[in-house]
Chains A and B, each alone.
Chain A
């Protein structure tokens, strides 16, 4: 089992969700996040005073998948979140030791 974490532009969330639904992925966790990468934020001007806003709003998606699903899910997220412009985000995958569904007590793949 793997945990796929994706940081994407907020307006791409819907596209990513649809792409994952199409793959039969049944659950995910989404949270608002902020940060910066190479794009280093943007500039805002208030009454002539310029502010560099380096923490840009992003969305963080977390999806638990079986090992066999890793590549299709990863590719689907990247394809759906891609704009080609700076600030598109990142996706990474880490191994998961155990998963338990709270309601039933199911473990492992059954709990995903």
Chain B
């Protein structure tokens, strides 16, 4: 069959942009931790790229998008990505994909990677690295692949094999439920399983490198254009609408967050600007191609205001979601997904449905709420089960002494910076090369 070269080129570029978001996330998260645990924080993201890619190629793509399954999951068995790379599939049960399936598979792979990596923000400073890797394998298999099938798989050209939420008409353009709520809730569950860090609310745990956070936020923002506009799976009007609304969401939420900080804390902060931008980008992830740009301003502002208020809740409920995965991704994802039920506009997207404010009644809002609740419950329950299973067998948490000394040292035998021996790093004054190399047999 003939493919559209423009569509294919855009989706390939968008895939690279979305992949860049994961190192960007590593910077965002890595800058927010203390100096003694920044490498481990970044490694949790980097390792996810490796793990999820291999699983995707082996069986993940088929679990998510194989049409030989049911509404709950795609098919099981070898994915055989590439075997059918010339055949077309449907994007919504009626429209044939204009890009090679293998481009679609690459694009969706980058989503599976970053969703898994996002969870690591709630378990900073205290997680065994090997256990994280096992968690990533189990979580992406048992939670991400099925949930992405529920929402993103519209079945073949006749709608066969579609996910159950997709069939019900859930509007989630780029993953407000699949990516944002899913990872945010999983983060909450893992923070509960792991418990609070040593010294939480007593020791200073301020971000050790805010400029690194801003670099990460910038890379995420850039990559998010691929994430949202790429989800149009073509270089077309929808991609342009999603692109514009993505920008608006990040910008409006940045302002919303800073206003709250100015009113509440007296001063707007650079970390707040980065956090606000991310909150808005999260909220526009599901809604970017279903609402008008004017509505995107409102959704962005709502996300900036409510996410900045929501991150304080962890102190009230006493769970250590270290880098606010819940407050940003779960809350922002819920705002964005429900907002479609309010602001949805058929006028900007023929595949969209009018929401409450556009005379569409409560119908869409109910479906959106169903999507939010079902993904929330499934992700929470299964993540808790995975977390406790690992906790009870190989253990999830490093020892108290290792945590105080720094997870970088205990899990990776590395330190990020030379501090002359102060503050959690060796390698400075007093470090000695022992003259042995592993490859010389000195194991």
Contacts and interface: CB of A to CB of B under 8 A. Distances in A.
A44 interface: yes
Interface string A27-40: 00000000000000
Contacts of B308: 47-48
Given A51-B204, A51-B206, A53-B204, A46 B269 contact: yes
Most buried by B among A44, A46, A52: A46
Nearest to B210: A46
A45 interface: yes
Interface in B242-279: 261, 264-265, 267, 269, 271-272, 275
Nearest to B272: A47
Given A51-B204, A51-B206, A53-B204, A45 B312 contact: no
Nearest to A44: B206
Interface residues of A, number: 10
Contacts of B206: 44, 46, 51, 53
Interface in A10-54: 44-53
A57 to B, nearest CB: 13
A48 B207 contact: no
Contacts of A46: 206-207, 269, 271
Contacts, number: 29
A49 B205 CA distance: 10
A50 B201 CA distance: 10
B315 interface: yes
Interface of B: 204-207, 261, 264-265, 267, 269, 271-272, 275, 308, 311-312, 315, 324
9 contacts: A45-B267, A46-B269, A47-B271, A47-B275, A47-B324, A48-B265, A49-B315, A51-B205, A51-B206
B208 to A, nearest CB: 11
Contacts of A50: 265
A47 B213 CA distance: 13
Per DSSP, are chain A's interface residues mostly helix, strand or loop, or mixed? Answer: strand
B311 A48 contact: yes
A52 B204 CA distance: 8
Contacts of B207: 46
A108 to B, nearest CB: 30
A52 B275 CA distance: 22
Most buried by B among A46, A47, A48, A53: A47
Contacts of A45: 261, 265, 267, 269
Nearest to B260: A48
A52 B205 CA distance: 11
Contacts of B271: 46-47
A47 B267 CA distance: 11
A47 B207 CA distance: 10
A65 B207 CA distance: 42
Contacts of B272: 47
Nearest to B271: A46
Nearest to A54: B204
A44 B205 CA distance: 11
B126 to A, nearest CB: 18
Contacts of A49: 315
Contacts of A48: 261, 264-265, 308, 311-312
Given A48-B311, A53-B204, 19 more contacts: A45-B261, A45-B267, A45-B269, A46-B206, A46-B207, A46-B271, A47-B271, A47-B272, A47-B275, A47-B311, A47-B324, A48-B261, A48-B308, A49-B315, A50-B265, A51-B204, A51-B205, A51-B206, A53-B206
Contacts of B324: 47
A3 to B, nearest CB: 22
What are the 10 closest A-B residue pairs judged by CB atoms, nearest first?
A51-B204, A45-B265, A51-B206, A46-B206, A48-B312, A47-B311, A46-B271, A46-B207, A47-B271, A44-B206
B305 to A, nearest CB: 13
